[in-house]
Structure 1
Amino acid sequence: MRARIAHVVAGHADLALVREAASAGEILDWLPQHPIEVLLVDLGLPDQSGLDVIRACRQLQPDCAVMVITIFGDEANMVQAFEAGASGYLLKDGTESDLALHIRSLQAGGSPMSPIIARQLLRRWQQAGVTPPPAPPRGTRDSRDARDAREPGPALVAERLSPREFEVLDLISRGFTYAETAQRIGVSVTTVQTHVRNIYGKLDVHNKSEAIYEARDLGLLP
């Protein structure tokens, strides 16, 4: 499957495969010092569960979008993967032809899923007696109203962000990578990642796009 994925990625100029790994240990050793935008992971790895890789990636690189590509289509694995931090879940059957499209969707903030996985999620909601309402886009008036009194005001959020966090937020909003940001402010990439995690927590967001949207909505960015 790795060879097939590599072949698909190589056929698209806007995508690049920066690393392949045959085991969880291999990728876990590599991740801390190599910022990436997307991680594709199988759950059935030879040394440990792919769930461990997902959790580690979310901790080490909170801005990285993780998508599972696996043979496991059961509800238990699906739920555990999403709880661990996956943003997408594809079954290996029929993945190859649309893989580039799914990766682009993931980068844009989407959650690509195989139809059977989406059906299982829907059934899970229905069995719980909950109809999932359409979520308004983050940053719109409706989405902000939905957070009601739990949402701190702009002044309070601004006070919570340190000067260094403001600097990091400004740079990533202007398109600088973690490595470029680290170089400009004279710190390590790991330190930048720590600042980003803190920013996400203080803004109550989960990725870079949401952070920028929210910061602009609060008047913290132009």
Structure 2
Amino acid sequence: MNEGTVRDRIQVLVVEDDAPVRWRVCDALRGAEEFAVEEAANLAEARQFLSANPVRVLLSDLRLPDGSGIDLIRAVRQKYPEAEIMVISILGDEESVIAAITAGANGYLLKDAFPADVVETVRDLVAGHSPISASIARFIVRHSQGAGRSQATTALNTAKLTPREIDILWGIAKGFSYSDIADHLGISRQTVPGHIKNIYRKLEVNTRGEAVFEAVQQGLIKL
């Protein structure tokens, strides 16, 4: 790659305190030659980099050890109005979603997205799109329409999942392995993936994080 091509690469800053997650995201992006990737484990490191370097794309967690990613999003949006900003988080609470988007985030994906999906998402951001996971998009629509959930609606949604599926969903939310869930419920480990597939279908989601987010929003489980 020649010097001109290097200069033309898209500067990405990944801010994430969970080292394995940060490494996975950075490695995925570094595998795409159009990106130049820097990483930070906290707000202080991110601010130090941004004080001397412009950034085209910011990928940031919301809960950092020394403060809120919301503040970083707001600062980057003010300093670099043309920057593309995506939140990567395991959080699924309403305040985080709305606050991040209000502060200037263009996209919001849950933390367990596959590396290839992260790369495609950043490409979509740079192309001017606003990728948001399906479950979060549904919440934003409900929120913008002022649609609160009544007890009757919650009861209806709860009925979509069987008691066994709700137990398995709670295990997923707590980070248990398939074997742990099977042992706890006294079922075969081989049956757990089938239950999880049914949960995804009923909740209309594709990942563990989205399933947990949607279940919490519907009142199916409490964390």
Provide, for residues 183-210 of structure 1, a one-character-per-residue CA deviation record: whole Å limited to 9, x for no partner.
Answer: xxxxxxxxxxxxxxxxxxxxxxxxxxxx
What is the 5 A alignment of 1:87-98? Answer: 87-98=106-117
Q: Secondary structure at the match of 1:123?
A: helix
SS of the equivalent of 1:113 reads coil
- The match for 1:112 is 131
Q: Specify which of 23, 27, 34 is matched with residue 7 of structure 1.
A: 27
Whether contact under 8 Å (1:69, 1:92) holds in the other structure is yes
1:154-185 Cα shifts (integer Å, max 9, x gaps)? xxxxxxxxxxxxxxxxxxxxxxxxxxxxxxxx
Identity rate, percent: 46
Offset at residue 118 of structure 1 (A): 0.6
The 3-state SS of whatever aligns with 2:125 is helix
Change (3 A) 1:95 1:82: farther
Alignment root-mean-square deviation, CA: 1.5
Q: Is the Cα–Cα contact under 8 Å of residues 31 and 60 in structure 1 kept in the other structure?
A: no
Matches within 5 A, 1:107-146: 107-127=126-146
Query: Aligned partners of 1:11 and 1:30: how far apart in 2?
Result: 22
Cα distance in 2 for partners of 1:14, 1:30 equals 20
Q: How many matched pairs?
A: 128
Q: Separation in 2 of the partners of 1:115 and 1:33?
A: 36
Q: Provide the rounded CA distance (Å) in 2 between the counterparts of 1:2 and 1:25.
A: 16
Q: What TM-score, normalized by structure 2, do the two folds share?
A: 0.55
Which consecutive residues of structure 2, in runs of 5 or more, have no partner in the other structure? 1-20, 149-223
Contact 1:28 1:56 in 2 (8 A): no
Q: Distance in 1 between matches of 2:105 and 2:92?
A: 14
CA distance in 2, matches of 1:111, 1:25: 27
Which structure shows the higher strand fraction?
A: 2
In the alignment, the residues of structure 2 paired with residue 38 and residue 125 of structure 1 have an alpha-carbon distance, to the nearest angstrom, of 27
Structure 1 residue identity aligned to 2:109: L
Q: CA deviation at 1:6?
A: 1.3
CA distance in 2, matches of 1:93, 1:73: 12
